[in-house]
Amino acid sequence: MNKHYVFVYGTLRRNEKYHYLLQDAELVAEQAWTNGSLFDTGLGYPAVKKSQTETVYGELYLVSDGHLRSLDQLEGYEEQGRNNLYDRKKQSIYHDGGETEAFIYTVANHNKSMLQTPIPFGDWKVYQFEKQNGNVLYFAYGSCLDHARFKLAGVDHYFQKLAGVAELKGYTLRFTKKLPDGGRADIVEDGGVVEGKVYEIPYECLEYLYRREGVHTLLYRPALIDVKMNGQTIKDVLTFIVVSKDPETVSPDHYLEEIIRGGSGFLSETYISRLQEHVKMLK
């Protein structure tokens, strides 16, 4: 039986309607990306066209021949087919573990009419998430743990409802965004555990978070993750991930103080202690 790497970016992703087709497939990376432009087809699913200047986010899987046949059928692809809905080709997929050549389904040249609406940030799940209007769940793991910062910014009224403390499994907190005064926090998919607070916030709070996290200047990007809270899996919780990761840099003292102050009494003492020791090692 052959194995194939496949990058998925739409309705095949985790918690999406066709993800069941990847049952028993091996997840290689939840946070993966590649070159391309992402579009809403207006048909309930997205499409990608080639681009060297834009980025598409998705997930990377190692699949069997059977999986690949099922995916081909869903995507309207046949080898040597002349009327394919999508083409299946290999290209470089990037993730925290490195670079992998994988199949990706891109819209066939004769179906360019499917490319209706460009999707901001290149992320189908975030695009769908942003269409809602109610309260949302937000996972804070860095300086946003610190309620004092919210008060200083005059937005503490948005963060009055703490849903609980959660674990993000499969990731580690690292300082991969280098600013002039030092590193800023990020989550790196390397098999660890990140602890954080989950807030229930009103939708209008997103404007503040996007501005604070530098989303529109491509400092951080919004992403949806699954976390463990009170023994249950909470799906598609909003967080923010560094877009272009730098070599890890020690954080400034004031920044680490914000994380510790915000996490004390909420995050485990073991987690906070390990974080402090890690920062000492970076100095």
What is the set of active-site residues? 213
Tokens standing for 160? Answer: 């009055």
Q: Which residues, including other chains, have CB under 8 Å from residue 190's CB and lie 6 or more apart?
A: 96, 97, 170, 171, 172
Q: Which residues pair with 184 in a beta bridge?
A: 177
CA-nearest of 108, 128, 112, 109 to 120 is 128
CB 195 within 8 A of CB 268: yes
User: What are phi and psi for residue 206, nearest 5 degrees?
Assistant: -60, -35
- Residue 253 makes CB contacts below 8 A (sequence gap 6+) with none
| Run of H or E including 271 | helix 269-282
CA angle at 43 for the pair 37 and 46, rounded to the nearest 5°: 25
CA distances from 18 to 13, 68, 70, 97 (A): 8, 13, 11, 26
Phi-psi region of 136 (alpha: psi -120 to 50; beta: other; left: phi over 0): beta
| In the block, residue with structure tokens 């529109």 | 216
